[in-house]
Structure 1
Amino acid sequence: MATTSFTLDDLRRILREGAGEDVDLDGSILDTPFEDLGYESLALLETGVRIGREYGIELDDATLTDIETPRQFIEAVNEQLARASQAA
C-alpha cells in the first residue's frame, strides 16, 4: 500500500476491529498507557500483525513489546512506512 502516514484515527480503527466497538478510545489518548486503556501486550502484538497486513510493513515483536502509548505505536508504524517507501 502506498500510504505514507499512519494516524491516531487509523490506530483507533484497528484497535476497535480487534477488540470491538465498545472500547473507549475517544478523547486525548496519545500519551495514555495502553495498560490504562485496557490493552495488554498480546493485544498489541495482534494489532501489529493487523497493521502489517494492511499496510505492507513488518513490526517486530521487540518493538511492539516496548511500546507503551498510542503515540509510540504511531511513531513506530510511521518509521516502518518511511523505510518501506524509501526501499521502493
Structure 2
Amino acid sequence: MATQPFTLDDLKRILLEAAGVDESVDLDGDILDTEFEQLSYESLAILETCGRIERDYGISLDDSVVTEAKTPRALLDLVNAQLAETADAA
C-alpha cells in the first residue's frame, strides 16, 4: 500500500502502460486540467488505468470514477482521497 501521494508522474506512467499515447499529445505539457478526451483517452482507457491504479496501490475506486474524473487533476484528487481513506482505516 502506498503512503506517498499519487502524483501526475504516477498517472502518466500508468496511462502509458495501460493505453499508450497518441503521437499528437504531449503528456509532458500542462495537462492537469485538460479533459482526458482531448488527450485521446476514452472511457475504456480510463477504466483500464483505474484498474491498474487499484492493483498497484491496493485501493478500490468506485465505478463512477470513470465518469466523474474528466481531467488528470480530478483523477488525482479521487485517487489521493481513496489512499487517505485506506491509510486512515489501517
On whether the aligned pair clears a TM of 0.5, the verdict is yes
* Cα drift, residue 58 of structure 1: 0.6
Aligned to 1:44: 46
Give the count of matched residue pairs: 88
Deviations 1:53-85 (A, max 9, x none): 000001111122211000000000000000000
After alignment, is 62-71 or 50-59 more displaced? Answer: 62-71
Whether the aligned pair in 2 keeps the contact of 1:59 and 1:77 (CA below 8 Å) is yes
TM superposition score normalised by structure 1: 0.92
Flag the structure with higher helix content.
1
> What is the TM-score of this pair, normalised by structure 2?
0.90
Percent identity reads 62
Which region of structure 1 is more displaced relative to structure 2, 31-40 or 59-68?
Answer: 59-68
Give the superposition deviation at 1:2.
3.2
- For the aligned residue pairs, the C-alpha RMSD in angstroms reads 1.4
Unaligned runs of 5+ in 2: none
